[in-house]
Structure 1
């Protein structure tokens, strides 16, 4: 994700009713049997208390939503496939606001209740450890955004011409039931039905569109595992450009109220070129589609690396010039943060440090300052009292995470040499592709590839309170 603070980067359902299908754990007829127990109500990540749920692992979400902007009303269908990781009597899904009318587990009606932002599901029969199951949830209502406190309002937000569902670390639970933590990635099929004339953009490969009775259904498929906060919906009056790059679809969109030759469109036009450059440094592009969406709503004061199709807030283009730095940052996240996702939010520098460093690589490649010069300037400007690793919930999007993180990446390059450094990056994106990772995982890999002990190096650059010696 990119933010702009003080002038710097801080980083298809046409039916009216819908049902959400979710794979989860249950309590029911076998609840009293020994060994069956409820799944945990959150994953104990101190950065996002209450988010995520235990006892199961989601493999796939099949979502269908219908949105009526005139009444700000959403109806939804989701079919989620999951596997129980324990003997489950009951399980939770994260869901904010929306009203649930029915839930089934493997086709059988299941008891359900709401507990604030949780949907608590008790199946008729307990679920055995290792068993694969499906849950359907029918829901509807007026979606409500989430007050983030750091980035501002996130989640599903009504706009003048439609809606935007976007946010980090939360947004997904405002428009579908979900295990809302990046450690439980899943694949997605998403159908979005909107009034004719509006675009409905989401993640992944575009599918066939269909229209009936004044409504159009847009279809999207993300076949690579995706963290829930990387899902998005952008609905409204957009100029959508669909092409191909490297044999894969490339879909970009800009509000129709902006000029076709403006800085927003010019920035989106270099998406494929920038992704190709990053592939020479990080390894093959990890997904089956490319793209980007510019939004005009000033409430979106950030850019977010939503998988395969980043979303860019309007502030990044206010200077009237193309902004290739932010495009580079969000595209770099497709490797660092999306394909290789966080196991816990305290390691967010693994996302933002590498994406910020990618900006330096692109600037050098595009004829600007060298990565080394950017390193020198940022080193001199850094407040070393602020830690990069495990910075605390209120500092997740701080300069220490972004810029000190980038300093750490370049210092690693200087320490191990270019050959080992780029081998480390490519090994990371290859070996950890489609999975999750921690800082300890990166340290172990860097030590293995370089043949050097690097624990003290990472401690000094990520958490030390004094300026490290320059490598």
Structure 2
């Protein structure tokens, strides 16, 4: 993602209150044996310390089929409010014996829930849809859950106050959900540790284009003034990387030099410079494949909107850009497809592995384009004085309000360059490719990365990682 904060923030008392609000689910004792729990309540969070209510326990979602019907906000001066109605068909597996389980859903109201085709009892709070299946779910059993829901859409904001999730616009919707905004537009297990496949049917007013992840699964169909767009995303994906953006887009489809199908959707107001820079995508794919191995998904492309948010997100297979589709940002978001999308953070504290790799990838792309070398960019960064706020930061534990702070990006990239110098080019690029091969399709942590770096280099790197990602001081020796 390209959304950076130059002012470093810390989590205050409100964050503590959130943290203690998430309690583990209660277990129900087996009949005749009060000391032996049997069926329990799936937890209302996946256990991430930064976002205790994000994700859920006791379930593993295999597939989401999202049937969405959306009407954008009317012209000004009417309120910036749209209307979204959806049916989410969710195939999941119980990972515990459950007498109830949760899905994340926020700002929209569920009207009906079925499990296995039968209506089920449910309740809904601000962030949680709590479903009580009957019969209860046993560990390993599969279930199909269908949630009918809907409501007015507005412009939700994340913990920092930045727009995210399903963001209503006059001509459609900007859909970017990092870190926990997917719950603003569909019922979901909203944490990277539960990756799933997706399919989409998105119905919008005729003349608008609805763009999601993956590839079109059928030609758009129009009836009664509304058009339905069909998309299929068969590669495992973290929920925050899903999108269903809607707008007055100009579509460009082609095949990149490495054979990857490309689908770009660009707002007419952003044609020109953005289109010229997007034309470099084909060369970038070839370049990054040389560094990280084969491109991991079935397609790629971009969504370029005219919303004034001013950031970009590496939505899987279809990176989103708000006004700033420029060469460096395009390289950053494309590199994320390997580093962040295919290999995703195990906890949000590990986000430097996403942003550090993407930023360092841009450094290497710039060197490839005969600009400053990665070493020169590293030296420029290291010229910052020791009392610069950039150094007063724990990269591997940025706190919820520091996820998109500058050091996560720049010090993260500098960490990778320093590691490259320490272990040598051969070991470093073997590390990069092995990282993608070993953890691709899942998640990994800072500890996983450090362990793999030691495994491949044969070096003891404990002091290196302590200095670079755990110590809030300028590194001087490692």
Same fold (TM over 0.5): yes
| 1:333-352 map, 5 Å | 333-352=336-355
| 1:105-116 map, 5 Å | 105-116=115-126
Hey, what does 1:301 align to over in structure 2?
310
Task: Kindly report the root-mean-square deviation, in angstroms, between the aligned alpha carbons of the 2 structures.
Answer: 2.1
SS in 2 for 1:306: coil
SS in 1 for 2:266: strand
SS in 2 for 1:3: coil
Cα distance in 1 between the residues matched to 2:39 and 2:154: 35
- Quote the offset at 1:327 in angstroms: 0.5
Query: Contact 1:151/1:301 (CA < 8 Å) preserved in 2?
Result: no
Hey, what does 2:20 align to over in structure 1?
none
Cα distance in 1 between the residues matched to 2:5 and 2:42: 40
Query: Contact 1:144/1:174 (CA < 8 Å) preserved in 2?
Result: no
Hey, what does 2:139 align to over in structure 1?
129
Cα distance in 2 between the residues matched to 1:234 and 1:36: 40
Query: Contact 1:289/1:308 (CA < 8 Å) preserved in 2?
Result: yes
Q: Deviations over 1:323-342 (max 9, x none)?
A: 21100110111011100011
Query: Contact 2:41/2:101 (CA < 8 Å) preserved in 1?
Result: yes
Unaligned stretches of 5+ residues in structure 2: 8-24, 75-81
Change (3 A) 1:222 1:151: farther
Is the counterpart of residue 200 in structure 1 residue 203 in structure 2?
Answer: no
Range moving further from structure 2, 268-277 or 70-79: 70-79
Q: Deviations over 1:276-331 (max 9, x none)?
A: 21111111111100101111010x221000001110111x26xxxxx211001101
Cα distance in 2 between the residues matched to 1:355 and 1:396: 14
Q: Deviations over 1:102-147 (max 9, x none)?
A: 1011111110111111101001211000111110011121124332
Is the counterpart of residue 329 in structure 1 residue 336 in structure 2?
Answer: no
Cα distance in 1 between the residues matched to 2:98 and 2:138: 6
- Quote the offset at 1:368 in angstroms: 0.3
Unaligned stretches of 5+ residues in structure 1: 8-25, 318-322
Is the counterpart of residue 244 in structure 1 residue 255 in structure 2?
Answer: yes
The match for 1:398 among 405, 415, 420 is 405
Cα distance in 1 between the residues matched to 2:5 and 2:373: 23
The match for 1:274 among 279, 284, 290 is 284
Cα distance in 2 between the residues matched to 1:30 and 1:238: 56
Query: Contact 1:352/1:401 (CA < 8 Å) preserved in 2?
Result: yes
Change (3 A) 1:362 1:460: same
Cα distance in 2 between the residues matched to 1:45 and 1:178: 16
Q: Which runs of 4+ in 1 moved over 4 A?
A: 4-7, 29-34
Hey, what does 1:258 align to over in structure 2?
270
Is the counterpart of residue 373 in structure 1 residue 376 in structure 2?
Answer: yes
Hey, what does 1:449 align to over in structure 2?
456
Is the counterpart of residue 213 in structure 1 residue 224 in structure 2?
Answer: yes
Cα distance in 2 between the residues matched to 1:247 and 1:366: 22
Cα distance in 1 between the residues matched to 2:381 and 2:477: 12
Cα distance in 1 between the residues matched to 2:135 and 2:117: 12
The match for 2:101 among 70, 91, 104 is 91
Q: Deviations over 1:323-381 (max 9, x none)?
A: 21100110111011100011100111010011110010000001100000000001122
Change (3 A) 1:466 1:116: closer
Hey, what does 1:54 align to over in structure 2?
57
Cα distance in 2 between the residues matched to 1:201 and 1:240: 10
Cα distance in 2 between the residues matched to 1:345 and 1:113: 28
- Quote the offset at 1:470 in angstroms: 5.7
Cα distance in 2 between the residues matched to 1:151 and 1:310: 22
Change (3 A) 1:140 1:199: same
SS in 2 for 1:153: coil
- Quote the offset at 1:468 in angstroms: 2.2
Cα distance in 1 between the residues matched to 2:73 and 2:333: 32
| 1:9-28 map, 5 Å | none
Query: Contact 2:5/2:406 (CA < 8 Å) preserved in 1?
Result: no
